[in-house]
Structure 1
Amino acid sequence: MAMEEIINLRLFLIYFIISVSVFQSGVDFQMSMFLYYTPKYQCLSPNQTTDSITPDNCFYVPVNSSLAKFPCTKWKFDKSKIKSTFVTELKLVCNQRFLQWILIPLRNISGVFAIFLGILSDMKGRKPMFLICSGSDTIIWILLGILPSHYSLHIFLRFIKLFGIGSSIIGLVLVTELTPKKYRNFIIINYWSVFSIGMAMTPWYIKRFAYWKQSWLIAAFPMFLYGLAPLILLESPKWLISNSRKDEAFEVLQILNQNSEDEDFNNKSIDDIETVHENKRFCHSKSLLIRLGILLITSLSFYFVYQGTATNLEFAISDIYINAMIMGLIEIPAGPLGYLSSIAIGSVTSVVIWTTIGLISYSIIPGNWDPMLNLTQTGKISHSILACLSKFSLVVAWNILSVFYVALFPTNKRNFVANFGEATGFIGAAIGGFAGYYYSNDNGGFSFANFIYGILLIISMILFGLIIPSINKTSLPNTVEEAEQIKKDSQFCFTESIGDKIVEEYK
């Protein structure tokens, strides 16, 4: 029996443990939007009474003076939408607002350093690095909830939360290398659906508990399941074989196959496992470097747009809780639909088409190009529908894109590439998130950022569609030579039914 044909209950338990890290990433992502949300505020004079206020609410004018105005030191925050945020707790408004702007891209900036976790995972193994990252993330998460709210300390802890990002990507690679080929695309494309579930649940945490630290700590409870990870997780046999550890790889295969009735496997020995010989270095492969470059541009573009829209808690509708919940819920079906789409018309074609749908629907959202436009009731409904459609379409495309980062490159560079793609994406996310936050809070829309969003996506999709090969039935390459053999297929078939292709996929 081939290694890529093995599947049993142990594998599903591994999926479950790794899905915790993906779920928590979704919670963390959405929590950040609420954590740094700035409600409306009003300047108060030192005696706590409302005085004559300048339009920017950053100065007050004493009652007995019509000329002198003084910088505000106390504010009354609107608690009708959200009772407590990190911004309201430390009063990061007016002359302190620049400190707030640093917080917005912080999670994404820390994600850039996740590339080093990928390098370590390729060197030391998937399992130990996942355990280190998930354990570290749990400790940091709890510390953020129990330690006093101090700006510098918060900055430090949020920065080193890159371990949470690393655990999700390392988990993706481990799942990819353990999953049988005929199920692999389904598992990978649906991998981030758990992220969306975490996003959808976060508004409940926030609204249920008045103080942000309470909701933060409650949200940490699923992470205690990581305690089972050392007992359940297995190392990737592909990684073990690539590092000349055939005996350990065979032990993993025996565990995965322990309930199988396949006599062919039971009659095999360690000697039947082929040794991987790497004859060419990754950095010497022009074709793989070109693919990597295009995927990095694509990752940067998608993260830029996604984070830019996600940072606006009123992107679809004005209720920040319902908006955040909808943004999570609409992403959940993106995985199954992306999988069916990749079977029906091919993975590359699917990415290009769904991205185009997302770009067009986003560009015609009423009010997006004119933030001062007063929308009618019909305009508001159109805005909500098109906003949801654009976000959903881009998420479908991104879920399919995830397969390319792990399926086109050799085993000893797979985690590096996946984390490099994530790190590059976070550069775009930091810029896009800042732009989205700035324009949603200051100008009520994304008029300045829209043009850049569109140009980036168009360029990346042209390059992606022309050069990147389809990977619907591709075996995971172990070496650079095997990765180079994955060629661009220019033939796209739209005539077969989805049902026929699903049957063919599972033959």
Structure 2
Amino acid sequence: MATAVFFAGAVAGGILFGWIADHYGRVPAIMGANLIGGIGGVATIFTTSVWDFVLCRFLVGMAFDNAFMMIYILVLEYISARHRTWVANISIALYFGLGCVSLPWIALWISDWRMLLWVTATPMFIVLLAPWVLPESARWYVSRGRTNQAVQVLRKFEKVNGTKIPDDVMDEFIVASTQTKQTNESLLVLMKSAPLRMIMILMLILYMSCSVVFDGLVRMSDAFGLDFFISFTLTSATEIPSVTLLAFVLDRWGRRNLTAGPLSIASVLIGIAIFVPKGIPQASMAIGARFFINMAYTAVIQWSAELLPTGVRASGFATLHISGYIASVLSPYIVFSERIWTLLPLLILGVVSVLGSGISMVLPETKGRPMPQTMADGERIVQEQGFCGKGIPEADEEDWKTEKEKNLIA
């Protein structure tokens, strides 16, 4: 029951903080998610019954993924297309990867769940410093018609970096921002757009496919004939090299290829695992599959942020993550299907990987492109792709890139 309530909290948190981020700013959403997670974690230590424990798990669930997701969006909105992949993925490789590898051994060393909660929950209160160290997204300010606040943020960057934005560049940014048509963009408005609605539906299926395979391989860590802690550590350790490799090649080979390709390879490795004996051979195939699923899942996370317009990026991103939570609920049942046939879980995960690979091939490529600021920008990305819309002449595409570089200086 506690696990179910935890994921219910994750869904509620995704909806709430996604809405806050799009309507009140990225920084308030970051603070809210981390503070609720910290409060829920610390409060769990003092629970005395099932019901207050479940309530605290709901609060922690609200922060699950949202604490990371909101600041991930904020950072991407400040990074140019040239450096976006490095900043987005190296941070995941280092911090998420090292956290996954170290957490089971920290838990084993502490051997006290209350003390473990102190160690993992209290660092979330560092977010109280956010108003003084985290600048609000200039893109979000522009999407809300608050050009003056966007300029103030850029002026702060000048002081911190010790450089000055050329006056003609700043003037051009102000003019472009004030001329941008302001609309009440929301997920409802996005779903009324046929191209963006199709992208959202396909991305939901892709997210769910990656989530099921990712979570399924984690839950099967003790089913490969090795010690749980060793299996979990080895599969988690693939996060660091896989995401680091992704950072090197994502801007060369593109999001589409580095989602479809790794998912296909993972399905092959899972298929091989069906025919090899338990123990090291089967665990090796599972670890290899986890390596490529890490690459695909991380590429999808960045890809989805690059496809969604600024006005709905947080709520749309949250919706995609919610679909991942819902899919994760299915993974225990997939693992338990071994009672029907021992190899059925691997077969199901392999089929889901193939499905995700096929879906990714019809999504538009965003390599080297600026992130869409408006719904019209998002529709343009879809329409110029050969798979999802009509292509446009190369000359028009170059003109569009030049125009976007002028209008999205921030």
Task: Give the CA deviation at 1:222.
Answer: 2.9
Structure 2 counterpart of 1:119: 19
Contact 2:251/2:368 (8 A) holds in 1:
no
Aligned partners of 2:309, 2:75: CA distance in 1, in Å? 15
Aligned partners of 1:446, 1:476: CA distance in 2, in Å? 45
Structure 2 counterpart of 1:449: 345
Name the amino acid aligned to 1:400.
A
Task: Give the CA deviation at 1:459.
Answer: 2.5
Describe the SS at the equivalent of 1:178: coil
Task: Give the CA deviation at 1:189.
Answer: 3.1
Structure 2 counterpart of 1:274: 177
Aligned partners of 2:211, 2:67: CA distance in 1, in Å? 19
Matched, 1:482 2:377: yes
Of 318, 341, 359 in structure 2, the residue corresponding to residue 463 of structure 1 is 359
Contact 1:190/1:399 (8 A) holds in 2:
no
Task: Give the CA deviation at 1:447.
Answer: 3.1
Name the amino acid aligned to 1:160.
L
Alignment of 1:348-363 (within 5 A): 348-363=256-271
Alignment of 1:215-294 (within 5 A): 215-258=116-159, 259-262=161-164, 264-265=166-167, 268-269=170-171, 271-275=174-178, 276-278=180-182, 281-294=189-202
Task: Give the CA deviation at 1:244.
Answer: 1.0
Task: Give the CA deviation at 1:188.
Answer: 2.3
Contact 1:308/1:434 (8 A) holds in 2:
no
Aligned partners of 2:320, 2:58: CA distance in 1, in Å? 19
Contact 1:105/1:431 (8 A) holds in 2:
no
Aligned partners of 1:190, 1:421: CA distance in 2, in Å? 22
Contact 1:191/1:335 (8 A) holds in 2:
no
Describe the SS at the equivalent of 1:314: helix
Contact 1:104/1:433 (8 A) holds in 2:
no
Task: Give the CA deviation at 1:461.
Answer: 2.2
State, as a whole percentage, how many aligned pairs show the same letter.
19
Structure 2 counterpart of 1:417: 316
Task: Give the CA deviation at 1:417.
Answer: 1.1
Q: Which has the higher helix share?
A: 2
Task: Give the CA deviation at 1:137.
Answer: 0.8
Alignment of 1:306-317 (within 5 A): 306-315=214-223
Aligned partners of 2:222, 2:167: CA distance in 1, in Å? 56
Aligned partners of 2:34, 2:337: CA distance in 1, in Å? 34
CA deviations over 1:268-318 (Å, ceiling 9, x no partner):
358445232157842331111100000000111111121122123415552
Aligned partners of 1:256, 1:317: CA distance in 2, in Å? 54
Contact 1:134/1:164 (8 A) holds in 2:
no
Matched, 1:139 2:39: yes
Contact 2:107/2:116 (8 A) holds in 1:
yes
Contact 1:316/1:388 (8 A) holds in 2:
no
- TM-score scaled to structure 1, two decimals? 0.69
Alignment of 1:429-448 (within 5 A): 429-436=328-335, 438=336, 443=339, 447-448=343-344
Matched, 1:192 2:92: yes
Name the amino acid aligned to 1:448.
L
Name the amino acid aligned to 2:314.
N
Name the amino acid aligned to 2:84.
R
Structure 1 counterpart of 2:399: none
Name the amino acid aligned to 2:181.
H
Matched, 1:202 2:94: no
Describe the SS at the equivalent of 1:478: coil
Alpha-carbon distance change, 288 to 191 in structure 1, aligned in 2, over 3 angstroms: farther
Q: Which runs of 5 or more residues in structure 2 are unaligned?
A: 392-410
Contact 1:109/1:430 (8 A) holds in 2:
no
CA deviations over 1:432-473 (Å, ceiling 9, x no partner):
13433x457xx59863333432333322321220x2111111
Alpha-carbon distance change, 155 to 446 in structure 1, aligned in 2, over 3 angstroms: farther
Aligned partners of 2:141, 2:266: CA distance in 1, in Å? 40
Aligned length: 376
Alpha-carbon distance change, 315 to 387 in structure 1, aligned in 2, over 3 angstroms: farther
Alpha-carbon distance change, 381 to 137 in structure 1, aligned in 2, over 3 angstroms: same
Of 473, 497, 504 in structure 1, the residue corresponding to residue 368 of structure 2 is 473
Of 328, 338, 341 in structure 1, the residue corresponding to residue 236 of structure 2 is 328
Aligned partners of 1:359, 1:310: CA distance in 2, in Å? 16
Alpha-carbon distance change, 305 to 254 in structure 1, aligned in 2, over 3 angstroms: same
Structure 2 counterpart of 1:386: 285
Structure 2 counterpart of 1:182: 82
Structure 2 counterpart of 1:505: none
Q: Which runs of 5 or more residues in structure 1 are unaligned?
A: 1-101, 369-374, 492-507
Describe the SS at the equivalent of 1:287: helix
- TM-score scaled to structure 2, two decimals? 0.84
Contact 1:205/1:218 (8 A) holds in 2:
no
CA deviations over 1:118-138 (Å, ceiling 9, x no partner):
122111111111111111111
Structure 2 counterpart of 1:164: 64
Aligned partners of 1:125, 1:335: CA distance in 2, in Å? 29
Name the amino acid aligned to 2:170.
K
- When the two chains are superposed, the root-mean-square deviation of aligned CA atoms in Å is 2.6
Task: Give the CA deviation at 1:343.
Answer: 2.7
Higher gyration radius (CA)? 1
Greater shift in the superposed pair: 305-314 or 293-302? 305-314
Aligned partners of 1:445, 1:231: CA distance in 2, in Å? 56
Task: Give the CA deviation at 1:180.
Answer: 2.5
Aligned partners of 1:308, 1:119: CA distance in 2, in Å? 30
Alpha-carbon distance change, 250 to 300 in structure 1, aligned in 2, over 3 angstroms: same
